[in-house]
Amino acid sequence: MLRACGVTVRESARLSVLLIDHDMSVVMRISDRVTVLDRGETIAEGTPTEIRENPWVVEAYLGTTGTEHPA
């Protein structure tokens, strides 16, 4: 429902929509593009699929170890 509403508003009014949320399931479900911040720094940008597979996002939000953040 939210995705349909967002698409309708975006297309009819020719607007971009900025969504700030920590609920990644909501973000991934309704977004075309995602930018992920960790402690105020951008660590990833891309499609929901690209974000879901990004090791820096997984580390920041799920707490895995063994990866380094990009410079």
In the chain, the N- to C-terminal Cα span, in Å, equals 38
Q: What integer pLDDT is reported at residue 17 of this predicted model?
A: 79
- What pLDDT is recorded for position 12? 77
| Residue 31 C-alpha from the chain's centroid | 7
d(CA 18, CA 66) in angstroms, rounded, equals 32
Task: Give the pLDDT confidence of 18-65 residue by residue, as tens digits.
Answer: 888 888 888 888 888 999 999 999 999 999 999 999 999 988 887 765
Write down how long the chain is: 71
pLDDT value for 10: 67
pLDDT of residue 3: 55
